[in-house]
Chain A
Amino acid sequence: MSSRRIAAIAKRDLKALRTDFFPVMLLIVMPFVLMPFLQPAFKLALTVEGLHEATGAEQVIPGMAVTFGFFLVGNVSLGFYREHGWNTWERLRASRAETSEILIGKMVAPLLQAVAQFVLLFGLGGFLMGLHVKGSLLALCAVAAAFALFLVTTGLAVTALCRSFIQANAVVNIGTLLLAGFAGALVPYTLLPGWAQDISPVVPSYWAMQGYKHAIIGEGASVIEPILFLLGFALLSAVIASWRFRLDDTKVGFQ
């Protein structure tokens, strides 16, 4: 495996992102627009839970990280469908780059996006919203890393299962809303109806929210369990991707 070829593929995808930066900007800016609307509801919910010093940032920032993180699943898919739309996929495959190098190279740009999103949301967002990490910053980063891994493997699985970018886009958009909803990322978890709370633990985003919450609020709750669940979901996505991903599948991309 050649790190140079992986770097070349990653660099090319980052250039494509830079050239078409508006969607990336939206994913960065929109959480900051929504946070002030949702913060009071999360503050109220945390106060009801007994956290009287809570500002609401403890949940609204992870909520936005989870919700907008899911859009990265679409970006992973986009990286592949764009190659098909530009007729460069077969060229890439016919080059000396091995399959594993192509796949890893195409994971780099979305992973860097995830890191940038995490740093901005928890750094700048935390500063603006008054977030105090009472637990462990390291644990927070570990949850973010596990969640990012889940996002990119799910992006691969969605690409493997969907024949066209329109299909993938629909799956990602609907999936984002559903998974964010069940996780308590858009509405405080304690305000979800009982049946929704019962379903939540089978949803990956729930474990991301739990992990962030435990890392931020502390109080002895471990992030190990949420991280293990996130890694388990990442493994499941990776298995689906490796089962269904065919390099010679004809995908309907776009220009």
Chain B
Amino acid sequence: MLRIRNVHKNYGDVRALSGVDLEVDSGNIVALLGPNGAGKTTLVSIVAGLRKPDQGQLWIDGTETTDRPQLAQRQIGFAPQEVGIYPTMSVRDNLRFFGELNGLRRQRLRTRIAEVAEAFSLTDLLDRKGRNLSGGEARRLHTAMIVLHSPPLLLLDEPTAGVDVQTRNQLLHLIRSLAEEGSAVVYSTHYLHEVEELEASTVAILVSGGIAASGSIPHLIGALGGASVDLRFSGAPPELDLPEGTIPVGADTLRVPAEDSPAITAASLLQSLDGAGSQLREVKLRQPSLESVFLAVTSDLISGDGAP
């Protein structure tokens, strides 16, 4: 559905994207992860046709859209990061307006407004003005506006920012449903647990404008998400002979990589502490996870130990 090849984008001297490649098939969710300023929003904006890449190519549903954003815009539903609704119009009018802009008319438009309002729990709010919605309701409307015309490609830029747990769960459930119905979804977020809850088929971790790692969640965890043991001491960690790859975390903790299971490593570490054991306050076993993948990838690249 979406193919991105070697996309570069600079803002003046600032490199926003450098050689990004990505593919999203129909029915799949691709999660874009990355620290602030990694280039997630720029990438999504380029796919949405709001910005042109300096270099590279994009295809949506087999049609090259790099220099013809209007072709892209027929295929996409784009929800930007900031909630964008018309506060002076009712929920129904907000939905109707974007439905009309995207080619829906008369009975079809009325039917879709009813269906989408039902799906996003907006039915009872249809006559309420946008300015009178709660944060969560406004976020649901913001997202509902992009699915009215059933676009085959959905672009969601941090869609759960600032919403309560219920709204977040509801949005994630709806996005999963849309993917199951065949939509291709690009989901940009900071929240790693959402990516796991969404069961994203591919995770792409962006760092400094480049995709530092990508693949399925099990693949990434298997390849990069090593287990570890955290040792927290009563003060600064004492001098110890610990395995290679041990890193300080905060002022009082050491993170020791676990080559076997973290429990076996912890047992071995406790035996080797000797006198320093009296300063030990906590031992935490860290299983391999998407978070450990993310931290491994981003800490290496941010500190300059790796290449994007």
User: Which A residues are closer than 8 A to B by beta carbons?
Assistant: 4-5, 8-9, 12, 15-16, 19-20, 86-98, 247-248, 255
Asked if residues A88 and B101 are in contact (CB atoms below 8 Å), the reply is no
In the complex, chain B residues whose CB is within 8 Å of the CB of A4: 100, 105
B28 to A: closest C-beta gap in Å: 21
Partner of B86 from A88, A94, A95 at Cβ < 8 Å = A88
Cα-based distance from A89 to B89 in the complex (angstroms): 16
Q: Is B83 an interface residue (CB 8 A)?
A: yes
Asked if residues B100 and A91 are in contact (CB atoms below 8 Å), the reply is no
In the complex, chain A residues whose CB is within 8 Å of the CB of B48: 90, 94
Looking at A8, A12, A95, A98, the one whose CB has the most chain B CB atoms below 10 A away is A95
Asked if residues A15 and B50 are in contact (CB atoms below 8 Å), the reply is no
Looking at A9, A19, A91, the one whose CB has the most chain B CB atoms below 10 A away is A91
A87-B80, A94-B50, A95-B73 known; A16-B98 Cβ under 8 A: no
Which B residues, 71 to 100, have Cβ-Cβ distances below 8 Å to chain A? 73-74, 76, 78-80, 82-89, 93, 97-98, 100
Asked if residues B101 and A16 are in contact (CB atoms below 8 Å), the reply is no
Q: Is B128 an interface residue (CB 8 A)?
A: no
Cα-based distance from A191 to B299 in the complex (angstroms): 75
Partner of B87 from A91, A97, A255 at Cβ < 8 Å = A255
A184 to B: closest C-beta gap in Å: 38
Asked if residues A96 and B74 are in contact (CB atoms below 8 Å), the reply is yes
For this complex, 24 residue pairs linking A to B, each with C-beta atoms less than 8 Å apart, are A9-B101, A12-B89, A15-B89, A15-B93, A16-B86, A16-B89, A19-B88, A86-B84, A86-B85, A86-B86, A87-B82, A87-B83, A87-B84, A88-B84, A88-B86, A90-B78, A91-B80, A91-B145, A93-B50, A94-B49, A94-B78, A94-B80, A96-B70, A247-B50
Partner of A12 from B49, B86, B102, B145 at Cβ < 8 Å = B86
Which B residues, 153 to 192, have Cβ-Cβ distances below 8 Å to chain A? none
Instruction: Give me the 6 closest cross-chain CB pairs, A-B, nearest first.
Output: A87-B84, A94-B78, A8-B100, A19-B88, A87-B82, A95-B101
Cα-based distance from A182 to B49 in the complex (angstroms): 45
- Closest Cβ neighbor of A102 among chain B residues: B101
Asked if residues B74 and A90 are in contact (CB atoms below 8 Å), the reply is no
Cα-based distance from A98 to B50 in the complex (angstroms): 12
Partner of A98 from B70, B83, B87, B98 at Cβ < 8 Å = B70
A91-B78, A91-B145, A94-B48 known; A5-B100 Cβ under 8 A: yes
In the complex, chain A residues whose CB is within 8 Å of the CB of B89: 12, 15-16, 19
- Closest Cβ neighbor of B51 among chain A residues: A248
B191 to A: closest C-beta gap in Å: 21
B46 to A: closest C-beta gap in Å: 11
- Closest Cβ neighbor of A12 among chain B residues: B97
A91-B145, A96-B73, A96-B101 known; A86-B87 Cβ under 8 A: yes
- A-B contact number at CB 8 A: 71
Cα-based distance from A247 to B49 in the complex (angstroms): 11
- Closest Cβ neighbor of A15 among chain B residues: B89
Cα-based distance from A72 to B51 in the complex (angstroms): 31
Interface size classification for chain B: 20 to 34
Asked if residues A94 and B76 are in contact (CB atoms below 8 Å), the reply is yes
Asked if residues B84 and A91 are in contact (CB atoms below 8 Å), the reply is yes
Q: Is B103 an interface residue (CB 8 A)?
A: yes
Cα-based distance from A20 to B93 in the complex (angstroms): 16
Asked if residues A96 and B84 are in contact (CB atoms below 8 Å), the reply is no
In the complex, chain B residues whose CB is within 8 Å of the CB of A15: 88-89, 93
Cα-based distance from A209 to B83 in the complex (angstroms): 45
In the complex, chain B residues whose CB is within 8 Å of the CB of A92: 101
Given A90-B45, A94-B50, list of 17 further CB < 8 A pairs? A4-B100, A5-B101, A9-B101, A12-B89, A15-B89, A16-B86, A16-B89, A19-B89, A88-B86, A89-B84, A91-B78, A93-B49, A94-B48, A95-B98, A95-B101, A96-B74, A96-B101
- Closest Cβ neighbor of A88 among chain B residues: B84
- Closest Cβ neighbor of B81 among chain A residues: A87
Asked if residues B88 and A248 are in contact (CB atoms below 8 Å), the reply is no
B243 to A: closest C-beta gap in Å: 49
Asked if residues A90 and B101 are in contact (CB atoms below 8 Å), the reply is no
Cα-based distance from A46 to B5 in the complex (angstroms): 72
A15-B93, A95-B98 known; A90-B88 Cβ under 8 A: no
- Closest Cβ neighbor of A98 among chain B residues: B70
Cα-based distance from A16 to B129 in the complex (angstroms): 12
Asked if residues B88 and A16 are in contact (CB atoms below 8 Å), the reply is yes
Partner of B73 from A9, A12, A16, A94 at Cβ < 8 Å = A94
Partner of B101 from A8, A20, A86, A247 at Cβ < 8 Å = A8
- Closest Cβ neighbor of A101 among chain B residues: B101
Cα-based distance from A173 to B87 in the complex (angstroms): 27
0/1 per residue, B30-57, Cβ < 8 Å to A? 0000000000000001001111000000
In the complex, chain B residues whose CB is within 8 Å of the CB of A247: 50
